[in-house]
Amino acid sequence: MIPAANGEKRGVIYTFYSFKGGVGRSMALANVAALLAKWGYSVLVVDWDVEAPGIERFFTRDNPGIQNLRANTPGVVDLVQAKSDGAPFPWRDCLIDVKIGSNSSRLSLLTAGRSGEDYTSRLHALNFPELFDKHELGSYIEELRNEWAAEYNFVLVDSRTGVTDHWRDMHGPLGRCSCAAIYDNRVEHRGRAGDSRASQEGAGTFSAGPQEALCSAGAGQG
Ligand SMILES: Nc1ncnc2c1ncn2[C@@H]1O[C@H](COP(=O)(O)OP(=O)(O)OP(=O)(O)O)[C@@H](O)[C@H]1O
Ligand SMILES: [Mg+2]
């Protein structure tokens, strides 16, 4: 934990961002999370990649029931939907405990949302620009961010890729923290990562390389 301006101890939030998809961002995040948990830190993993979710699949080896848990546990989309309906509920109701080896470490997962056939329609029903303009989604994300940082040593957020309509809005409140930008190759749009980092403290860059993985989404793991 690092001391905040007011002297309170606060965790660190890392947003894992890449301009392109499929570059190993989620795998890097899952492995960093597993290592931090093994080292005794409390870690919250948040799947904010709502259009292409599924970070839970990297934890299936030690948590075979995790996909079923996601089907029955609310997540980001459900939190945002409830907020827009004027019926917010505690984010703690979304947490899935993730086991890493036999370690008694604390790793919590907040998935992109309850999976199922209606996931896509529930996601598409969310009008993000309107939520930011009329339902104070930005302030809500700030609140979540503060509460997460107060409770965990590390919060690792798997972010959306590319430049979306509300890219800056999303990266504003969630990204006022350190940012791990994953570079895969020269196709990566470095300008975007630069923009993302510009407003952030302590930005860092990971280069994903082939190393022994603690977590992987290999064959048979969904
Ligand atoms: N360092 C690595 N070595 C070998 N394989 C890797 C490595 N990193 C990722 N992979 C594999 O590459 C594929 C894509 O990885 P991953 O899902 O982490 O990418 P992503 O950037 O999160 O993709 P998306 O944009 O779809 O969310 C996966 O099958 C993963 O197992
Ligand atoms: Mg991913």
User: In order of start, what are the domains of the chain with their CATH numbers?
Assistant: 10-207 (3.40.50.300)
Q: If you average pLDDT over every residue of the chain, what do you get? A: 78
Ranges 26-35, 172-181, 208-217, most confident = 26-35
State how far the Cα of 88 lies from the Cα of 169, in Å rounded to an integer. 20
Mean pLDDT of 52-67: 94
pLDDT digits (tens, 9 = 90+) for 152-165: 999 999 988 777 65
Beta bridge partners of residue 97, listed in sequence order: 108
Q: How far does the centroid of ligand 2 lie from the alpha carbon of residue 8, in Å?
A: 33
Q: Which residues' Cβ are closer than 6 Å to ligand 1?
A: 18, 21-27, 49, 52, 161, 208-210, 216-217
Q: Which residue has the higher pLDDT, 51 or 196?
A: 51
Q: Which pLDDT belongs to residue 198? A: 34
Dihedral of the alpha carbons of 61, 57, 206, 179, in degrees to the nearest 10: -130
Predicted confidence at residue 162, as pLDDT, reads 75
Phi, psi for residue 70 in degrees, rounded to 5: -65, -35
pLDDT at 95 over 90: yes
Strands (E), the chain: 2-3, 9-10, 12-17, 43-47, 96-98, 107-110, 154-158, 178-183, 204-207
Which residue's alpha carbon is nearest to atom 11 within ligand 1? 24
The pLDDT, as a whole number, for residue 47 is 96
- pLDDT computed for residue 207 by the predictor: 42
* Residue 103 confidence (pLDDT) above 70: no
